[in-house]
Structure 1
C-alpha cells in the first residue's frame, strides 16, 4: 500500500470526534486480527480528549481486545504525574482508566524529579521506545499515531522555527522554551512520527484553518511542522468545516479532498 494523504471533513466537532472514534475502533480491530498486537500513540488537546471520550462511550468499544494494545504519547508536558495538564492524565480520565489495562501497556513519558534533567528524561523515554522496538530498530512501529495541530502549525511539541523539527539523530527531544505553556516538554522527533503506518491528524475550529491550508499547500516544515507529517501508509487530516475553510481550491479534488460521505474505504 502506498502513502495517501486525505482530508475528511465533518460538519462539527461532535461528529468529528465520533467519526474518528468509530474509524479507530474498526481499524484497530483489523490490525489486531492481522498481527496480534498494536502500538498506538496518543495526543493531547481538546480534540484528542474528545476522540478518546467518544471511544469510551462507543458500544463497539467492547469489540476491541484492549489487552493487546500498548499506548504511548508523541509528546508530553513536563509536569508532575497526575497534573491535569499532562496529556496522559487527560487520556486516562477520558478512556484508559475505563479499559482495565495492565500498567505496562501505558508508556507515559517521564515527569520532573524522576531524572536529573529534562534532557535525561528525554533519553529515558527514548530508551523505553528502543526496549519495545523490533531488533535493530530504535522505536516500535506505530499502527496509528494521533496528532493535533496548533494554530501555528505545530505537531507534537515540534514548533515552527525551532531546531527540534529538524532533529533526525534522536527519537525524543527536550523542548525547554515552548512558545506556549508549559515551557518544558518532551516530544517524538519527526522521523519517529513518520515511521508510523498511519498518521491521523485531528483538528477543529477556524483558528486551525490557516495551518491546515499551509500544510496541504506544501509549506516548509520550518514554518509549518504539520506539513512534514507523512505516515508510511496513510496520512489523514480529520477536520471540521471551520478548519477546512482555507484549504486551497486547487487541492479540493476527489483525490485530495474527501468528505465523510465519500470516505467509504478503510483508513
Structure 2
C-alpha cells in the first residue's frame, strides 16, 4: 500500500510572488504532463482561487489547446449565475486566454432538478476523459487546485458530512451544504487523493487559524487535512506570510 507523502508548504512574502510562483508551478506540471501523454488534466475549485491564477494570462508556454478542465466542485446553479464556479473561472481566466470551449467541462444544468442524476452525468464526463485510457480504479488528474474555507472544508467536502467517508463514487451530490447554495456536486476523496498533484492556495490573515489547524493538528480531521495523495502523488500549499503566521509546520523554499 502506498503511503501519502508529507505536504509541502511554501510561504510567499507578497501576493504577486505567490501568483507568479503558482503560475510557474502549473506551467511545469503542464509541460511534464504533455510530454508524458500529450495533454494536461486539471480540476478547479472556486472561491478566491481563480483570481490567484492571473499569472497564467499571457504567459508564454501555456498550451491551452492541451488542457482538459474539470471542476473539483460546483454549485447547482445556472452556468451564468454569480454563484457558479464555472462562471467565476470564465470571468477571471477562461475569457482572457485562448482555451478551446470544448476543453472546459461544466455541469449539465438541465439536470438540476435531480442532483444525483447531475452528479452521475458529471462522473460519466470524467469516465469519457479518463477510463478509456487509464487502467486505474479512479481518474488520475495531473493537477487539482483547491482552496480552504474557514471551517476547513475543501471542494464541497464539509466537516462532519457523510460524504467524507465516500469510497466508491467519483462525483457525489450534496443537497444539504452548510454553506449556500445547498445543492452542489463535488469530487470525492478517492479522486482527489489519486491526483498526481494537489495544490492548495490560501492568502490572508483570516486563513491563518484554519491553516494552523489543518497542518499542525491533522488528527482533528478537518476535510482539508484528509487530502493526502497516495504516493507518488504530492500535495502542495501555496500561501502568503499572513496566512502562514500561526503555522509551526516546516516551510520549504519554492523551487521548480
TM-score normalised by the chain length of structure 1: 0.86
Q: 1:218: how far off?
A: 4.5
1:99 aligns with 97
Matches within 5 A, 1:234-253: 234-248=234-248, 251-252=249-250
| Equivalent residue number for residue 211 of structure 2 | 212
**Structure 1 residues 184 and 220, CA, compared in 2 at 3 Å: closer, same or farther?**
farther
Which ranges of 4 or more aligned residues in structure 1 deviate by more than 6 Å? none
User: What SS does the corresponding residue of 1:245 show, helix, strand or coil?
Assistant: coil
| Residue deviations 1:53-82 (CA, integer Å, cap 9, x gap) | 2211x4xx2312211110001001111111
User: Alpha-carbon deviation of 1:229?
Assistant: 0.8
Q: How does 1:167-186 map to 2 (within 5 A)?
A: 167-186=166-185
Q: What is the count of residue pairs matched by the alignment?
A: 250
Evaluate the alpha carbon distance shift between residue 239 and residue 74 of structure 1 in structure 2; reply closer, same or farther with a 3 A threshold: same
Q: How has the CA–CA distance of structure 1 residues 142 and 162 changed in structure 2, closer, same or farther, with 3 Å as cutoff?
A: same
1:164 equivalent in alignment to 2:163: yes
Question: Counterparts of 1:220 and 1:183 in 2: how far apart (Å)?
Answer: 28
Secondary structure of 2:130 counterpart: coil
Aligned to 1:25: 27
Q: Corresponding residue for 1:134? A: 131
Single out whichever of 116-125 and 22-31 deviates more from structure 2. 22-31
Show the counterpart of 1:76.
74
Matched, 1:16 2:18: yes
Gap runs ≥5 in structure 2: none
- Give the Å deviation of 1:104: 2.3
The residue aligned with 2:56 is 55
Q: CA deviation at 1:245?
A: 1.6
TM-aligned CA deviation for residue 167 of structure 1: 0.6
- Aligned partners of 2:14 and 2:180: how far apart in 1? 27
For 1:163-207, what per-residue CA distance to the aligned partner results, in whole angstroms no more than 9, with x for missing partners? Answer: 111111211111111111111111000110011000000011222
1:118: which partner in 2? Answer: 115
User: Helix, strand or coil: the match of 2:111?
Assistant: coil
Match of 2:86 in 1: 88
Partner of 1:66: 64
Distance (Å, rounded) in 1 between the aligned partners of 2:180 and 2:113: 21
C-alpha RMSD over aligned residues: 2.1
Q: Quick check: 145-154 or 101-110, which moved more?
A: 101-110
- Deviation at 1:220? 4.2
State the secondary structure of the residue aligned to 1:235: strand
For the 8 Å contact 1:9–1:241, the answer to whether it is kept is yes
CA contact (8 A) 1:197 1:233 kept: yes
Cα distance in 2 for residues equivalent to 1:121 and 1:240: 36
Gaps of 5+ in 1: none
